[in-house]
Structure 1
Amino acid sequence: MYYNHHGFQNVGIRQQDDLTTMNRLIVTGEGSVSAVPDTALLTIGVITENQNLSMAQKENADKTTSVIQTLMSLGIPQSDIQTSSFRIEPQYNYENGQQQFRGYRIEHQLQVTIKDIRQTGQAIDQAVENGANSVSSIQFTVSNPDAFYNQALSLAIQNAQQKAISMARALQVTLRPVPIIIQEVSQLLPPRPVPFQAVMYAQSAETPIQPGENKITASVKIQYTYN
């Protein structure tokens, strides 16, 4: 039904114009929470060299099998132990500008997920004792990062709201409490690896591994209107 009565004509157009000419206040907010890691991701490897390829392969396979069995004896399921890389490379020496074949180098890297983070140091030591000679990285993560990220997201919204209130007071305007746009700026990302790396890891009584804390951050952009 169409009304041509004064006061109804072009109401929709005027409402649209009101939205486009509305005074807007745009703020950003950030929030972060600290999460104690409960899971460790290790990259443990076996590196062997021999002039005979078959012997190099057999030695590497025997040691890798021993490492896997050792980790499983600690209660780590086989599904949490997987090959991350396997390489066979010829090795050469260079003397007087000439290339001389030295042998073959075989590298087998395993990614190990340790869900009982207290076992991290023990797992490294036992793996090294039973054939591993490379620990290339250790990462500490949380098993439920979404819960921590949602907390950070709530803090980011509160931070943006506080900024908007402070700015409105400084401008001596009345802030409308309900925002017209809320935009999530950040996305949940895997936590950064803890800066711990070692190659040819030395054996010790028990390697002291400190997981520390992961910082999970969120940010938002919010648009408010004011009178």
Structure 2
Amino acid sequence: MNLQPSNRTNNHQQENTIKVMGEGVLSAQPNQVKITIGVKTENPSVSKAQTENTQAINNIMSALMQMGVPQRAIQTVVYQIEPQYDYVDGTQVFRTYLITHLLQVELDDISMAGAVIDQAVENGANFVSSVQFSLKDESSLQNEALTLAVHNAREKAQAIANSLSVPMKSLPIWIKELSYNDPVRFYQVAVYGASSDTSIQPGLIEIRAQIEALFEFG
């Protein structure tokens, strides 16, 4: 925060201003989760690697739909074919083709996250990229956080005015909203083989708003 004189004049008298930053923070339980999970297969034959990968992906999708995940909630987000090489005496030697097929599973029931990972791994998944908890609609909470930020800025400006023993106008001359990060919580999950009873605690997500405001005093 800083205290600064304004160059504006009103009734030919110089006015003084207080510029402050305000912050508002709320915590909320996430109500959506996106899980990125899939299969990596290697084979010297690209067609065999693709066949193995496709079979595993189909098994995963079938298992997830059987447990109640709608097909529309499952989509491919990565599909890559990459040749893999070894280096022998400084020479690049082809080894295999690596097929990576990743699915993103979007759930409104966040309590299913662990079970979805377990079911996918049991049916062929060998790679989990991320588990992302978020809020489906954070606009109302963001507005609440902005309100808190404005109150916080006014309190700071009033404290400065009080310390100077000068009156302060309660309405700011201007308010500027500052940037903030999206309310998302990420987890990295390593898969080394078949698992069971995976437990992932989503915790709380912070909704944060920041503003800059200019108040007039004196």
* Map of 2:35 onto structure 1: 42
Largest Rg, 1 or 2: 1
**C-alpha distance after superposition, 1:170-198 (max 9, x if no partner):** 011011112111111134x422442x323
3-state SS of the aligned residue for 1:22? strand
Instruction: State how far apart, in whole Å, the 2-side matches of 1:96 and 1:152 are.
Output: 61
Work out the number of aligned pairs and report it.
Answer: 210
Shift of 1:62: 1.0
Structure 2 residue 142 is matched with structure 1 residue 149: yes
Q: TM-score, normalised on structure 1? A: 0.86
Structure 2 residue 41 is matched with structure 1 residue 18: no
Greater per-residue strand proportion: 2
Instruction: State how far apart, in whole Å, the 2-side matches of 1:172 and 1:51 are.
Output: 80
Matching residue's letter, 2:120: A
* Map of 1:168 onto structure 2: 161
Shift of 1:201: 4.1
Structure 2 residue 86 is matched with structure 1 residue 77: no
Instruction: State how far apart, in whole Å, the 2-side matches of 1:152 and 1:165 are.
Output: 20
Q: In structure 2, list runs of 5 or more residues that go unmatched.
A: 1-7
Matching residue's letter, 2:212: K
Match of 2:26 among 16, 33, 56: 33
Structure 2 residue 215 is matched with structure 1 residue 215: no
> Do the aligned partners of residues 17 and 166 (structure 1) sit closer, same or farther apart at CA in structure 2, a change above 3 Å counting?
closer
Structure 2 residue 98 is matched with structure 1 residue 91: no
Q: In structure 1, list runs of 5 or more residues that go unmatched.
A: 1-15
Q: TM-score, normalised on structure 2? A: 0.90
**C-alpha distance after superposition, 1:92-114 (max 9, x if no partner):** 22233333221211000111111
Whether the 8 Å contact between 1:128 and 1:201 is mirrored in structure 2 is: no
Match of 2:48 among 35, 42, 55: 55
Alpha-carbon RMSD: 1.7
Whether the 8 Å contact between 2:174 and 2:213 is mirrored in structure 1 is: yes
Whether the 8 Å contact between 2:185 and 2:205 is mirrored in structure 1 is: no
Matching residue's letter, 1:85: V
Structure 2 residue 107 is matched with structure 1 residue 100: no
Shift of 1:54: 1.0
Task: State which drifts further: 23-32 or 74-83.
Answer: 74-83
